[in-house]
Amino acid sequence: MFKAVIFDWDGTLADTKKAVVISFSKVLAEVGCVVNDEFIERRIGTGTRKTLEDALEHCRIALDYETLEKLVRRKVRLQAELSKIVDLFEGATALLDALHGRTKNALATMSGRKVIDKLLSEKRIEKYFDVVVTADEVPKPKPDPGIFLVSATKLNVVPKDCVTVEDSIFGVKAAREAGMKCIAIPSGAYTKDELKNENPDLLVDSITEKEKILDFIFEEQVHTIT
């Protein structure tokens, strides 16, 4: 069995798409940059700064470092204020509860600490995580494996004994680079076929498939794509 499970947040445990899109769209509009919702959705999981940089490049708008940092901070504040429109996916709490006390569990998210701390408190699920690592604690976004490696270190578990749960191609790539197994769920912006192309070790339709996920975690099934 795996000793630790490392969860992504946006699109994996929680449906944050609307809050993310609204907050990005508002701050980008302030500097005259307009992109469609899909542009933002397809970058969820890469971090606030990277998404803003991509959007500004797309709009051919150059900003100095200080102004960009102000946009980052404003976007985080706006998203935190939208916490009420964020819902956990059906089955998320049931899976966390089933793992509680049986494995070490971490949350590894490219969302900011201010956003995550508020959401975990409001949704009353802080107790399920031994470690929470956010974008504020790593220099590079997914698909860089840094956030997963930091999580493993804080859990005091070697990467090969960790399995990640992800919804994005960036997350699957990061898990592979970290030397971890990965369970992929097409509940975010990426389709099942897109995730399958990244060769996750287990691919399920929904986080409600608790028994299949638990079987993989505790029985170490190898490379099960469905």
Average pLDDT estimate for 40-61:
95
Q: What is the mean pLDDT of the chain?
A: 95
Query: Tell me, what's the pLDDT at 226?
Result: 46
pTM of the model: 0.92
Q: How confident is the model at residue 208 (pLDDT cuts 50, 70, 90)?
A: very high
Boundaries of every domain in the chain: 4-15+86-225, 17-84
Which residues are known catalytic residues? 8
In CATH, the number for domain 4-15+86-225 is 3.40.50.1000
Average pLDDT estimate for 143-162:
98
Tell me which CATH homologous superfamily contains domain 17-84.
Answer: Putative phosphatase; domain 2 (1.10.150.240)
Q: How confident is the model at residue 219 (pLDDT cuts 50, 70, 90)?
A: confident
Q: Which of 5-9, 65-69, 213-217, 220-224 has the lowest mean pLDDT?
A: 220-224
Question: First-to-last CA distance in the chain?
Answer: 21
Contact between residue 9 and residue 103 where contact means Cβ atoms under 8 Å apart: no
Q: How many CB atoms lie within 10 A of CB 133?
A: 26
- Indicate whether 11 pLDDT > 60: yes
Q: How confident is the model at residue 223 (pLDDT cuts 50, 70, 90)?
A: very low
Q: In what order do the strands lie in the sheet with 224-225?
A: 131-133, 104-108, 4-7, 162-166, 181-184, 202-203, 224-225
- Indicate whether 130 pLDDT > 70: yes
- Indicate whether 192 pLDDT > 80: yes
Contact between residue 127 and residue 102 where contact means Cβ atoms under 8 Å apart: no
Q: Distance between CA atoms of 204 and 221, rounded to whole angstroms?
A: 13
Average pLDDT estimate for 116-124:
96
The residue behind tokens 């409001």 is 122
Query: Tell me, what's the pLDDT at 45?
Result: 86
Query: Tell me, what's the pLDDT at 168?
Result: 96
